[in-house]
Amino acid sequence: MNVMEAHTSCNEKVKTLRADLESLRKENETLRFKLGVMNRKCNILQAHLQETKAQQLGMIDLTASRSNSEITSCKRSVRIIEQQVPTPTKTSQILVRTNSTDNSQVVKDGYQWRKYGQKVTKDNPSPRAYFRCSMAPAGCPVKKKVQRCVEDKSFLVATYDGEHNHDVNSHVPALIRDSLSSSDDEVVLPKCSVANIIYPEPYPLENHSFRPSIALDLSLSGPNDKSPRNDVVENKLHNNNCNDIEEYVASLTKDPSFTAALAAAVARSMPHLHAA
Protein backbone atom coordinates (compact mmCIF):
# COMPACT_ATOMS: atom_id res chain seq x y z
CA MET A 1 0.00 0.00 0.00
CA ASN A 2 2.86 2.30 0.89
CA VAL A 3 4.48 1.44 -2.40
CA MET A 4 1.24 2.31 -4.21
CA GLU A 5 1.00 5.65 -2.39
CA ALA A 6 4.60 6.43 -3.18
CA HIS A 7 3.99 5.57 -6.84
CA THR A 8 0.92 7.86 -7.03
CA SER A 9 2.77 10.66 -5.34
CA CYS A 10 5.64 10.18 -7.76
CA ASN A 11 3.27 10.33 -10.71
CA GLU A 12 1.77 13.54 -9.43
CA LYS A 13 5.21 15.03 -9.02
CA VAL A 14 6.09 14.05 -12.57
CA LYS A 15 2.87 15.64 -13.81
CA THR A 16 3.60 18.85 -11.94
CA LEU A 17 7.15 18.92 -13.18
CA ARG A 18 6.01 18.34 -16.76
CA ALA A 19 3.50 21.16 -16.47
CA ASP A 20 6.24 23.39 -15.08
CA LEU A 21 8.55 22.35 -17.87
CA GLU A 22 5.92 23.17 -20.46
CA SER A 23 5.23 26.60 -18.99
CA LEU A 24 8.97 27.28 -18.79
CA ARG A 25 9.35 26.20 -22.39
CA LYS A 26 6.66 28.65 -23.43
CA GLU A 27 8.27 31.38 -21.37
CA ASN A 28 11.56 30.56 -23.00
CA GLU A 29 10.05 30.96 -26.45
CA THR A 30 8.56 34.31 -25.50
CA LEU A 31 11.81 35.54 -24.03
CA ARG A 32 13.79 34.41 -27.05
CA PHE A 33 11.44 36.27 -29.29
CA LYS A 34 11.69 39.39 -27.16
CA LEU A 35 15.46 39.07 -27.01
CA GLY A 36 15.61 38.92 -30.77
CA VAL A 37 13.45 42.00 -31.09
CA MET A 38 15.56 43.88 -28.55
CA ASN A 39 18.73 42.86 -30.30
CA ARG A 40 17.52 44.17 -33.60
CA LYS A 41 16.32 47.40 -32.03
CA CYS A 42 19.65 47.82 -30.29
CA ASN A 43 21.53 47.50 -33.59
CA ILE A 44 19.37 50.11 -35.26
CA LEU A 45 19.66 52.40 -32.25
CA GLN A 46 23.44 52.13 -32.33
CA ALA A 47 23.46 53.06 -35.99
CA HIS A 48 21.24 56.02 -35.22
CA LEU A 49 23.44 57.12 -32.33
CA GLN A 50 26.53 56.91 -34.51
CA GLU A 51 24.83 59.01 -37.15
CA THR A 52 23.80 61.63 -34.60
CA LYS A 53 27.34 61.82 -33.25
CA ALA A 54 28.68 62.22 -36.76
CA GLN A 55 26.27 65.06 -37.40
CA GLN A 56 27.25 66.78 -34.14
CA LEU A 57 30.93 66.47 -35.03
CA GLY A 58 30.23 67.71 -38.51
CA MET A 59 28.72 70.86 -37.02
CA ILE A 60 32.03 71.81 -35.39
CA ASP A 61 33.06 75.19 -36.72
CA LEU A 62 36.38 74.51 -38.37
CA THR A 63 36.88 78.16 -39.22
CA ALA A 64 36.88 79.28 -35.59
CA SER A 65 40.12 80.58 -34.07
CA ARG A 66 41.94 77.36 -33.39
CA SER A 67 45.42 76.12 -33.91
CA ASN A 68 46.18 74.27 -37.12
CA SER A 69 46.73 71.03 -35.25
CA GLU A 70 43.32 71.30 -33.61
CA ILE A 71 41.67 71.88 -36.97
CA THR A 72 43.49 68.94 -38.54
CA SER A 73 42.49 66.77 -35.60
CA CYS A 74 38.85 67.78 -35.94
CA LYS A 75 38.87 67.22 -39.67
CA ARG A 76 40.41 63.80 -39.15
CA SER A 77 37.73 62.87 -36.61
CA VAL A 78 35.02 63.94 -38.98
CA ARG A 79 36.58 61.96 -41.79
CA ILE A 80 36.81 58.85 -39.61
CA ILE A 81 33.16 59.17 -38.63
CA GLU A 82 32.19 59.75 -42.23
CA GLN A 83 33.86 56.50 -43.14
CA GLN A 84 31.95 54.64 -40.43
CA VAL A 85 28.57 56.11 -41.16
CA PRO A 86 26.90 55.23 -44.45
CA THR A 87 26.43 58.12 -46.82
CA PRO A 88 23.01 59.64 -46.35
CA THR A 89 20.61 58.69 -49.09
CA LYS A 90 17.18 59.92 -50.04
CA THR A 91 15.68 56.83 -48.51
CA SER A 92 14.49 56.83 -44.94
CA GLN A 93 12.44 54.69 -42.63
CA ILE A 94 10.12 55.42 -39.77
CA LEU A 95 8.19 53.21 -37.43
CA VAL A 96 4.68 54.20 -36.47
CA ARG A 97 2.75 52.92 -33.52
CA THR A 98 -0.85 52.19 -34.45
CA ASN A 99 -3.77 50.60 -32.76
CA SER A 100 -3.17 46.85 -33.01
CA THR A 101 -6.79 46.33 -33.98
CA ASP A 102 -6.48 48.84 -36.78
CA ASN A 103 -5.69 47.02 -40.01
CA SER A 104 -5.29 50.12 -42.15
CA GLN A 105 -1.86 51.03 -43.45
CA VAL A 106 -2.31 54.76 -43.17
CA VAL A 107 0.63 56.70 -41.77
CA LYS A 108 -0.43 60.24 -40.96
CA ASP A 109 2.71 62.20 -41.71
CA GLY A 110 1.22 65.44 -42.96
CA TYR A 111 1.52 64.63 -46.64
CA GLN A 112 -1.20 63.39 -48.93
CA TRP A 113 -0.60 59.96 -50.41
CA ARG A 114 -2.28 57.99 -53.15
CA LYS A 115 -2.07 54.24 -52.97
CA TYR A 116 -1.04 52.69 -56.26
CA GLY A 117 -0.31 49.12 -55.35
CA GLN A 118 -0.10 46.41 -52.78
CA LYS A 119 2.05 43.33 -52.63
CA VAL A 120 2.68 40.45 -50.28
CA THR A 121 6.41 40.07 -49.80
CA LYS A 122 8.36 36.97 -48.99
CA ASP A 123 9.79 38.02 -45.63
CA ASN A 124 6.57 39.42 -44.17
CA PRO A 125 3.06 37.92 -44.20
CA SER A 126 1.55 41.40 -44.01
CA PRO A 127 1.00 43.04 -47.40
CA ARG A 128 3.19 45.98 -48.38
CA ALA A 129 1.30 49.03 -49.62
CA TYR A 130 2.81 51.42 -52.17
CA PHE A 131 1.97 55.13 -52.02
CA ARG A 132 2.83 58.14 -54.16
CA CYS A 133 2.75 61.71 -52.90
CA SER A 134 -0.23 63.42 -54.48
CA MET A 135 0.14 66.85 -52.91
CA ALA A 136 2.21 68.75 -55.48
CA PRO A 137 0.13 69.75 -58.54
CA ALA A 138 3.09 69.15 -60.86
CA GLY A 139 3.69 65.77 -59.30
CA CYS A 140 5.95 64.93 -56.39
CA PRO A 141 8.56 62.20 -56.93
CA VAL A 142 8.33 60.86 -53.38
CA LYS A 143 7.13 57.32 -52.87
CA LYS A 144 6.32 55.50 -49.68
CA LYS A 145 6.09 51.84 -48.80
CA VAL A 146 4.12 50.84 -45.72
CA GLN A 147 4.20 47.42 -44.15
CA ARG A 148 3.37 46.03 -40.75
CA CYS A 149 6.35 45.19 -38.61
CA VAL A 150 6.98 41.46 -38.81
CA GLU A 151 7.88 41.29 -35.09
CA ASP A 152 5.19 43.54 -33.75
CA LYS A 153 2.09 43.94 -35.85
CA SER A 154 0.96 46.99 -33.93
CA PHE A 155 3.70 48.96 -35.71
CA LEU A 156 3.88 50.13 -39.27
CA VAL A 157 7.20 50.45 -41.06
CA ALA A 158 7.08 53.30 -43.57
CA THR A 159 9.92 53.59 -46.08
CA TYR A 160 10.21 56.94 -47.83
CA ASP A 161 11.92 57.17 -51.18
CA GLY A 162 12.92 60.55 -52.61
CA GLU A 163 12.49 64.14 -51.53
CA HIS A 164 9.36 66.28 -51.56
CA ASN A 165 9.52 69.19 -54.00
CA HIS A 166 6.90 71.14 -52.07
CA ASP A 167 6.05 72.27 -48.57
CA VAL A 168 3.83 70.21 -46.31
CA ASN A 169 1.88 73.16 -44.90
CA SER A 170 0.71 74.75 -48.11
CA HIS A 171 -1.23 71.72 -49.22
CA VAL A 172 -2.38 69.99 -46.08
CA PRO A 173 -6.09 70.47 -45.70
CA ALA A 174 -7.27 71.73 -42.31
CA LEU A 175 -9.03 68.46 -41.68
CA ILE A 176 -5.81 66.50 -42.03
CA ARG A 177 -3.92 68.97 -39.86
CA ASP A 178 -6.56 68.59 -37.16
CA SER A 179 -6.50 64.84 -37.35
CA LEU A 180 -2.72 64.89 -37.08
CA SER A 181 -2.64 66.64 -33.76
CA SER A 182 -5.30 64.38 -32.35
CA SER A 183 -3.98 61.19 -33.88
CA ASP A 184 -3.23 58.16 -31.73
CA ASP A 185 -0.35 57.30 -34.01
CA GLU A 186 3.10 58.25 -32.83
CA VAL A 187 5.51 59.19 -35.52
CA VAL A 188 9.06 60.37 -35.85
CA LEU A 189 9.86 61.78 -39.21
CA PRO A 190 13.06 60.85 -40.96
CA LYS A 191 15.89 63.32 -40.54
CA CYS A 192 18.17 62.42 -43.42
CA SER A 193 18.80 58.78 -43.97
CA VAL A 194 17.95 55.20 -43.16
CA ALA A 195 17.31 54.07 -39.60
CA ASN A 196 15.62 57.10 -38.14
CA ILE A 197 13.17 55.01 -36.28
CA ILE A 198 10.82 55.17 -33.38
CA TYR A 199 10.69 51.94 -31.52
CA PRO A 200 7.79 49.80 -30.61
CA GLU A 201 7.60 48.89 -26.96
CA PRO A 202 6.32 45.34 -26.64
CA TYR A 203 6.89 45.23 -22.91
CA PRO A 204 4.79 46.66 -20.13
CA LEU A 205 5.87 50.22 -19.49
CA GLU A 206 4.17 50.97 -16.22
CA ASN A 207 7.32 50.40 -14.18
CA HIS A 208 9.69 52.18 -16.53
CA SER A 209 10.16 55.87 -16.85
CA PHE A 210 11.54 55.42 -20.34
CA ARG A 211 9.06 55.55 -23.09
CA PRO A 212 11.00 55.89 -26.34
CA SER A 213 8.17 56.96 -28.55
CA ILE A 214 7.51 60.68 -28.79
CA ALA A 215 4.49 62.22 -30.41
CA LEU A 216 5.18 65.25 -32.57
CA ASP A 217 2.86 67.76 -34.07
CA LEU A 218 3.74 66.99 -37.65
CA SER A 219 1.56 69.62 -39.14
CA LEU A 220 4.13 72.28 -38.36
CA SER A 221 7.07 70.93 -40.26
CA GLY A 222 7.95 68.48 -42.95
CA PRO A 223 10.91 66.12 -43.06
CA ASN A 224 12.96 68.54 -45.13
CA ASP A 225 12.10 71.54 -43.04
CA LYS A 226 15.28 72.87 -41.50
CA SER A 227 13.64 75.54 -39.40
CA PRO A 228 15.25 76.39 -36.04
CA ARG A 229 12.18 75.05 -34.26
CA ASN A 230 12.62 71.72 -35.96
CA ASP A 231 16.28 71.58 -34.95
CA VAL A 232 15.43 72.31 -31.36
CA VAL A 233 12.84 69.55 -31.33
CA GLU A 234 15.26 67.13 -32.97
CA ASN A 235 18.10 67.92 -30.59
CA LYS A 236 15.80 67.56 -27.62
CA LEU A 237 14.55 64.32 -29.05
CA HIS A 238 18.04 62.88 -29.55
CA ASN A 239 19.29 63.97 -26.14
CA ASN A 240 16.19 62.60 -24.45
CA ASN A 241 16.44 59.34 -26.35
CA CYS A 242 20.10 58.79 -25.42
CA ASN A 243 19.46 59.53 -21.76
CA ASP A 244 16.24 57.57 -21.71
CA ILE A 245 17.81 54.55 -23.34
CA GLU A 246 20.47 54.45 -20.65
CA GLU A 247 17.80 54.86 -18.01
CA TYR A 248 15.75 52.11 -19.58
CA VAL A 249 18.67 49.71 -19.80
CA ALA A 250 19.59 50.50 -16.19
CA SER A 251 16.05 49.91 -14.98
CA LEU A 252 15.88 46.65 -16.90
CA THR A 253 19.14 45.36 -15.46
CA LYS A 254 18.02 46.35 -11.96
CA ASP A 255 14.75 44.49 -12.39
CA PRO A 256 15.36 41.14 -10.63
CA SER A 257 12.48 39.39 -12.37
CA PHE A 258 13.78 40.44 -15.77
CA THR A 259 17.37 39.39 -15.10
CA ALA A 260 16.24 36.11 -13.53
CA ALA A 261 14.00 35.32 -16.47
CA LEU A 262 16.72 36.29 -18.94
CA ALA A 263 19.31 34.19 -17.14
CA ALA A 264 16.95 31.23 -17.04
CA ALA A 265 16.21 31.60 -20.75
CA VAL A 266 19.90 31.79 -21.64
CA ALA A 267 20.70 28.83 -19.41
CA ARG A 268 17.92 26.79 -20.96
CA SER A 269 19.12 27.64 -24.43
CA MET A 270 22.52 26.11 -23.59
CA PRO A 271 21.93 22.40 -22.97
CA HIS A 272 25.62 21.68 -22.42
CA LEU A 273 25.62 24.01 -19.41
CA HIS A 274 22.47 22.38 -18.18
CA ALA A 275 24.06 18.97 -18.27
CA ALA A 276 27.18 20.15 -16.43
Partner DNA sequence: CGACTTTGACCTGCGC
Partner DNA sequence: GCGCAGGTCAAAGTCG
Q: Which residues bind DNA (CB under 7 A)?
A: 112-119, 121-123, 128-130, 134, 143, 145
Output the smallest distance, CB 82 to DNA, in A: 25
Q: How far is the CB of 129 from DNA (least distance, A)?
A: 7
Q: What secondary structure, in 3-state letters, does the chain show?
A: CHHHHHHHHHHHHHHHHHHHHHHHHHHHHHHHHHHHHHHHHHHHHHHHHHHHHHHHHHCCCCCCCCCHHHHHHHHHHHHHHHHHCCCCCCEEEEEEECCCCCCCCCCCCCCCEEEEEEEECCCCCCEEEEEEECCCCCCCCCEEEEEECCCCCCEEEEEEECCCCCCCCCCCCHHHHHHHHCCCCECCCCCCCCCCCCCCCCCCCCCCCCCCCCCCCHHHCCCCCCCHHHHHHHHHHHHHHHHHHHHHHHHHHHCHHHHHHHHHHHHHCCHHHHHC
Query: Which residue lies nearer to DNA by CB, 31 or 107?
Result: 107
Task: Give least dist CB 132 to DNA, A.
Answer: 7
Nearer to DNA, 124 or 154 (CB): 124
Closest separation in Å from C-beta 141 to DNA: 10
Residue number with CB closer to DNA (33 or 116): 116
The residue among 31 and 129 lying less far from DNA, judged by its C-beta, is 129
The least distance separating DNA from the CB of residue 169, rounded to whole angstroms, comes to 18
Task: Please say which residue, 98 or 213, places its beta carbon nearer to DNA.
Answer: 98
- In this complex, which beta carbon is closest to DNA, that of residue 143 or of residue 153? 143
Minimum gap (Å) between residue 73 Cβ and DNA? 40
